[in-house]
Chain A
């Protein structure tokens, strides 16, 4: 076949067709850009519902990004960021802290105990805390951490501690979490390493958030992590941003980094178990701390602060911010519990500064830097003598404790070296401590009572001593201002009394004295005495009269009779308070108008300057005209205003301010015009918050710190010393710096106890459901405490029905007797804090919903009765109640039988007692059981037992055991429940049932159709002989034939089998042969191929060589 030459298509380059095509092409490109125009139907609304849905979804996604704006209360100089280093044992926590410290400060610290504060940058300080694996510390630290470095042993994978800690964090407001993988050098294989990394990363992401930062620390160099990696980690830490958490921004807290026992040594000598007065030091965080407020120390209890004072910052940020990095002197390190920089500051004096030459010291020797501390450690035994002899005797007061501390530190093994030993802990956790606790409680109560009495006595004394007190107050003006006598007690056992004594009963003379005192006090309160004094002095003569009237407790202001409102002058003096009066310069309509003109007059000035000037002149005249109406000296001022533009050079300052002001107003106007277009509610809210924050910051900015502290309390970022009286002695004697001490400030009413309703959900990883009335340890607010929750569920009618157990996968309500905590606060529950029993310790989580003084939980109660007399629909029922009165209470109540007949209680019967008449919707049977469904209120047990883990002996702090659960108790005491007899398994005995034959009368049988007639079916009898099949008996000949056929067939079968075997063997042989041949062929082929490839390679090489040669020649 011959292919026919086809003519190629010729594009038209000219002519109408080409033009058309060109036009189309041009338009096409344009239209492609705007497809909506080209094909509007594709973009028209197909379905309104879907459109609404997509819009809704878009909005949802948009609004999800919004957070409720919070007032920014971060102080100008923020407190150090709390970095908690957390991880299972032996994962490298201490090593990491050491490396970080070395990275930031070039110093080495071998024993990390207590918080370590360092200056990490020009604007940031860090407080590094190591978190051990005691759940108590984990909970406490999760509440104060700003950033958590979560160490994970990559060679092992995630451990439960990590997850537990993450869950704790989630409940108490999520701090920033950064994962750090260690032990990466144990992986020999690169592929498994990267695989593990990926796996761990994704698991971590699901737990924290997608894209959470995970750091890899690969390998150690001389027992430390690689410098570059640590440096990178440090960089990440120092640029991290934090979102304020609700609980922390509304509560002040201090992570104590120093503790000092202030108790009188004599008192300790007399009674070593006396209550201690302790001062705790640390940076204040959160919000403002008011003096004399209540604090909770997790692990110890609630205490009222006797005194707070602020100290100079022991670890200050560099004063002048320069562009370069910090120098060695500015890289400070402060860790008094670890013995570094500890003795530096006290309330009223600075003792020794830290020498800066840490870097040059030897590595392994970790000694406190200051000579003083070194000497103290070196000479523990003869301390007193030394102290007496040396120059340092000045410091006896303060130094007394620190050597003790240091001594203690040396005695204890550091936490990280102590292996966590299950057996040992279990053995150690005995009930001994519970006894001790009880004793403590008793003691406390006693002492409280005593205090109460004392206090009352004091009150009476006080009245007599008013004059004396006055003198005192005057004497120490430098001290805190005289706060009106008031004692806040520990609210759990003691009421917080706000005492008051009567002034009314005093004679009048005294009263007037009192008056003066009030005035004077007031003067002292406010710093500017003269000004205020003036204000009060004016009306003092009238005071005494007024007081008598005011004794009626009336808020109405008694008018000052010195003003005579009939006089014109008086009337004139308030003229400006009305809109008709004169306005301030910046608000006056005339000036505003003028300013407007100035603003927009620029344009006019360029072209017709004269016109503009004339205008202003006119305006001023108009103003003067206005002023004439308002008589007096206002006119002068306006004249000045008129002159001001002419003598501009005279007061540059004023002009500058004016201009700035104008600029600001212009900008505001501009903003209002152009920003408000798309300003949403959210934006407005944000702006409002911003303004408030600005105002908060400015209000007290220029006031001296000493005074400022009294107005607004101690502000976060200050280094404060908090003095707490009446701490249990165990706090001091069993002090372990490895356990964090947190002082959590309490709100005004958070020191009280009451009923809390909360929403609770069993944690999905906790293996068992929780039982009502089993004690549970809750971490709520700052506190950790044991309490007895009752679980309930809300019915549709709002009834709270008691549950015996928490639902498996559902939320339920829980009511506890516990500390009043604001609604919306999250909590978590654990069953024990001692040892590790469950594989996942967090039993439940939830949130506080409501606070109340009464509970509304009910449980179902079924009262059962039996009818003893039945009329038509009425019957008499007995056994439900015992007295007539009981019946009377339930008159009209609806009752029901088991079979479902509803009824109502009508009236009690006289006899038998407790019987009543009831009517039902149908006739009852005597065998019916009648029951009444009622609801019985349940009381919540009032157990509130703070976990006092910090008071446990050193090394046993994680063995606190409170009240045991019922199951626990039964297990311990070997009590077993007697099972219900009915629930026991017994051999099943089935009785044979007899059924009588159905008897149909003969008459009936006759009448029935055949189908229904009973068929007389009889058993089938034996088949008769004649019907049975006979057996076959062969003839001799037949037998022979059969035998022959048998033999032949077996011969045939044998032959067949033999032939098959032969065939099989042959085939096998054949296959073998073939394989051999194949192998040979392959070999040959391979060789051939090899040859060809070699030839090709050589050819290639030659080519390359020649080309190279050519190139070199060119060069």
Chain B
């Protein structure tokens, strides 16, 4: 599945060291071949690995990818502005712990956009999850150095991740109760309005809400204007649920009132809470098409099948939608790049 699972397949191929050939990439499209952001992604993979062989045919419809050894190290990458840094960061999050040396990646481009999970969201949800897998220590962090909104970008994100030999098995079977809600509002003028509207909804559930306003000035605020809100709910078991809304770039889409905006975001969080499912292996929560595809790819590359059980909600419990419990036996994957002395 060419572009839809382009990223997943390349990441899994890199992890499993299996060669990958993707045929017919948009071959019947008006604009065939790889998009710029995909090419940029392939380039990023090349940077964090050693000995990778990439062959792309002239039209860009066929990609042959022979993964090398994950290396890590200091990497600086100019991400394409068509997609936000989250697109690249998601892949790096999966690869970085299995490198040879500590990864220190500086990604430049769009930090927040409406399509991808933003850097802030990944920061508050993915990092705690990685800690659960035993990837912790001083090195692990995502830091927004500069912000950059959609069309022009100009943002800068620092991602560092230590290497680990193997991961701990985790049991995330109990989501736990939400004990607090935190958030970040990105805007200069309208931050307070966004925050207030979001609080108006969430306050019905829990009083412990705090939403920071993040305003960067001058060069560190990026090249385009925009605003957004990221909310994250923390449960007593240390699970994090996130939601976010970003403004569309100027001149596109309908203009939104900041109040609506805040409310939308809060609702999204509730939606997330509603369907929070319990996964053991991926940090993508919820079963949608993307996850299904991902599971299928995992089966392709690692021969791992997930046991999916449905948990019926109790009659008297009011915990939102039906939940899914997924279980698998690990592939026994260990980091074979890391040097031992």
Contact = CB atoms under 8 A, between A and B. Distances in A.
A174 to B, nearest CB: 20
Contacts of B6: 553
Nearest to A518: B292
B225 interface: no
B270 A501 contact: no
Contacts of A576: 177, 317-319
Interface string A512-536: 0000001000100110100110110
B205 A553 contact: no
B182 interface: no
Interface in A525-571: 525-526, 528, 531-532, 534-535, 543, 546-547, 550-560, 563, 565, 570-571
Contacts of B12: 498
Contact of B339 (A699, A747, A849): A849
A622 B169 CA distance: 41
A557 B69 contact: no
- Chain A CB within 10 A, most for which of B17, B66, B236: B17
A738 to B, nearest CB: 33
Contacts of B275: 560
A300 B279 CA distance: 41
B190 interface: no
Given A498-B13, A555-B117, A851-B337, A505 B303 contact: no
B175 to A, nearest CB: 8
Given A288-B329, A522-B292, A551-B4, A820 B17 contact: yes
A853 B19 contact: no
B302 interface: yes
Contacts of A849: 339-341
Given A498-B18, A505-B26, A748 B177 contact: no
A483 B69 contact: no
A520 B56 CA distance: 34
Interface stretch (A708-716, A874-882, A896-904, A1086-1094): A708-716
Nearest to A695: B171
B145 interface: no
B320 interface: yes
B336 A577 contact: no
Given A484-B299, A575-B318, A748-B333, A497 B5 contact: no
B239 to A, nearest CB: 11
Interface stretch (B73-81, B154-162, B214-222, B304-312): B304-312
B2 interface: yes
A488 interface: yes
B320 A573 contact: yes
Contacts of B270: 565, 570-571, 574
Nearest to B165: A823
Interface string A683-706: 000000000100110011001000
Contacts of B284: 555, 557
Interface residues of A, number: 92
A580 B66 contact: no
A62 to B, nearest CB: 26
A749 interface: yes
Contacts of B179: 578-579
Nearest to B269: A565
Nearest to A251: B332
A711 B305 contact: yes
Nearest to A849: B340
Contacts of A820: 17, 336
A502 interface: yes
Nearest to B321: A573
A250 B18 contact: no
A505 B28 contact: yes
A752 B23 CA distance: 23
A290 B3 contact: no
Contact of B316 (A287, A570, A633, A749): A633
Given A500-B5, A502-B1, A710-B305, A535 B289 contact: no
A321 B1 CA distance: 54
A631 to B, nearest CB: 10
Contacts of B333: 747-748
A938 to B, nearest CB: 18
Contacts of B317: 576, 582
Contacts of A554: 87, 115-116, 290
Given A505-B26, A559-B268, A577 B177 contact: yes
Contacts of A695: 171
B338 interface: yes
B296 A484 contact: yes
Nearest to A637: B316
A496 B329 CA distance: 23
Interface residues of B, number: 99
A291 B303 CA distance: 7
- Chain A CB within 10 A, most for which of B8, B28, B117, B305: B305
Given A497-B19, A505-B26, A528-B310, A287 B332 contact: yes
Interface string A1046-1089: 00000000000000000000000000000000000000000000
B300 A853 contact: no
B40 interface: no
Nearest to B303: A290
Contact of A823 (B286, B327, B339): B339
B29 A505 contact: yes
Contacts of A553: 3-8, 87
A558 B288 contact: yes
B307 A711 contact: yes
A623 to B, nearest CB: 14
Interface string B236-274: 100000000000000000000000000000011011111
Contacts of B20: 497-498, 500
Given A290-B303, A553-B5, A822 B87 contact: no
Contacts of B273: 574, 577
A769 B3 CA distance: 56
A228 interface: no
A488 B302 CA distance: 11
A579 B23 CA distance: 50
A498 B329 CA distance: 21
Contacts of B309: 528
A503 interface: yes
B59 interface: no
Interface string B14-28: 011111111111111
A853 B51 contact: yes
Contacts of B315: 633
A727 B122 CA distance: 49
Contacts of A522: 292
A543 B337 CA distance: 40
B177 A581 contact: yes
Interface in A254-304: 287-288, 290-293
A939 interface: no
A573 B316 CA distance: 10
B211 interface: no
Contacts of B117: 555-556
Contacts of B204: 571
Given A503-B2, A551-B4, A552-B3, 18 more contacts: A291-B303, A500-B23, A501-B23, A504-B26, A505-B29, A555-B117, A557-B285, A557-B290, A560-B271, A563-B274, A571-B204, A577-B178, A579-B179, A748-B331, A820-B17, A851-B336, A852-B50, A853-B69
19 contacts: A483-B300, A502-B2, A502-B23, A502-B25, A532-B308, A552-B4, A553-B5, A556-B117, A570-B274, A577-B319, A578-B178, A579-B177, A581-B177, A632-B316, A696-B329, A711-B306, A711-B307, A820-B336, A849-B339
Interface of B: 1-9, 12-13, 15-29, 50-51, 66, 68-69, 87, 90, 100, 115-117, 169, 171, 175, 177-179, 201, 204-206, 236, 267-268, 270-276, 284-290, 292, 296, 299-310, 315-320, 322, 324, 327-329, 331-334, 336-341
State the 7 A-B residue pairs at the shortest beta-carbon distance, nearest first.
A853-B51, A749-B17, A495-B19, A502-B24, A290-B303, A565-B267, A712-B329
